[in-house]
Amino acid sequence: MSTTTSPTEICRQLDTPGDLGSAFDELLATRQEPPSLLALGEPTHGIAAFPLLRNELLCHLVERGYRSIVLETDVLAASVVDNYVGGGATEIDDVLERGFSHGFGRVPGNRELVEWLRGYNTGRPARDRVRFYGFDAPVEFSGAPSPRHALSVVLEYLPAALHPDSAGDIDGLLGDDTAWTNPDAMRDPAASIGDSERARALRLVADDLVSVLRRAAPVLAPADPVAYDDALAYAHTARGLLRYHAAMAHTASDRIATLLGLRAAMMAENLLAIVSKEKGRGPSLVFAHNAHLQQMQSSMPDGDEGAIWPSAGALVGFALGERYMFVAADAGPHPRPGTLQGTLAEATARRAMFPAKPLHAALPRSLGTGEPIVRGHIPLSPADVERADAIVFVADTDGHQHQYW
């Protein structure tokens, strides 16, 4: 008689919001120290089932003391959303357009999320409101913006007496923004301004601004904690952007991998800053692509030597240890037998959560990985199960990807 446990025996069905809440309560209870950051991944963007699952989970977690939601969107743009959910007068359509990068304001579930947050926060004191954050760098596949806006915001915030000497001729150093936003620079290092003398000088300005803000924190932060935190985020972003532009100017074979690694490092820095800001209020839920949140080394598809970098999840997990928890998610409307997706689909008619360690032990060693179902879908592999604390599989989705780009 076989004693092997099957995935069906170890999973928790998530048919109702109550089922979802109970399953996550049990998962969180497995940690001696509650996580500061609970990460929920999705295998691609634009499939409604995943952000709707996120929204449902957030409602439950807020009852458990969570006081912030963090999405894979521009760290600076997200302040537009946070202002709105805190009672700001901006129109919701404008919030969705300006407050989400990558077109994510058009992804199903995000309008509902923003409206729910605003309704929840109405009438509550600031300490009890659920804040909205982004943790992505303000970069796109087409390139990176000028650091002008980020640097200018910090200089406007700082009293003139605290402006570093290095920022004396900042307009001259910045020059015309078109030099920074040249779309050819992403693929052609010679078209990048990132290794010019003035770009190197601006990196010193950004470093000096971060240093000034850190040294002046005991004076500046108590007067307006939100304004101080925003200024520090802009300073870190300016510094990250300048590093990114410098890497765009490099000619090494692993240049693209370096750029992706710098983005991951900026993501991790932003997540750790959010954890620090929120430590007196409660844990945070972060939602993004599995690839950003899982604790692993990423690599280029062509396998170039040295073209690897740690994901944001790997960096944050290293820093937080047991205070970081990652739940990966996947779907497969018509998965093939003999694949991870096919095995998980056999265990649920709707959606289910599988604890990672028992699941990995129950999987046949010969199990394969399913095929992508839409653009950007990275199916979970059996090896990915080991890099998560749990897996959520959604079976009752047609896999339709809503266009947001």
pLDDT in tens, 108-126: 999 999 999 999 999 999 9
Token readout for 397 is 């989705």
User: What is the average per-residue pLDDT within 283-287?
Assistant: 98
Q: Is 58 exposed, middle or buried (0-12, 13-18, 19+ CB in 10 A)?
A: buried
* pLDDT of res. 298: 64
Secondary structure, 3-state, 120-154: HHCCCCHHHCCEEEEEECCCECCECCCCHHHHHHH
Look at the alpha carbons of 101, 92, 58, 234 in this order and tell me if their dihedral is positive or negative: positive
* pLDDT digit string, tens, across residues 174-207: 999 999 999 999 989 999 999 999 999 999 999 9
User: What is the average per-residue pLDDT within 390-398?
Assistant: 95
* pLDDT of res. 140: 84
| DSSP β-ladder status, 351-355 and 12-13 | antiparallel
User: What is the average per-residue pLDDT within 204-226?
Assistant: 96
* pLDDT of res. 303: 47
* pLDDT of res. 84: 98
* pLDDT of res. 4: 64
* pLDDT digit string, tens, across residues 59-69: 999 999 999 99
- DSSP string computed for 208-248: HHHHHHHHTHHHHHHH-HHHHHHHHHHHHHHHHHHHHHHHH
User: Is the predicted pLDDT of residue 307 greater than 70, yes or no?
Assistant: no
Q: What distance in Å separates the CA atoms of residue 302 and residue 298, rounded to the nearest whole number?
A: 12
* pLDDT of res. 342: 96
* pLDDT of res. 299: 59
Q: What is the mean pLDDT of the chain?
A: 94
* pLDDT of res. 296: 80
Look at the alpha carbons of 116, 122, 64, 267 in this order and tell me if their dihedral is positive or negative: positive
User: What is the average per-residue pLDDT within 219-238?
Assistant: 95
Q: Which residues pair with 71 in a beta bridge?
A: 134, 287
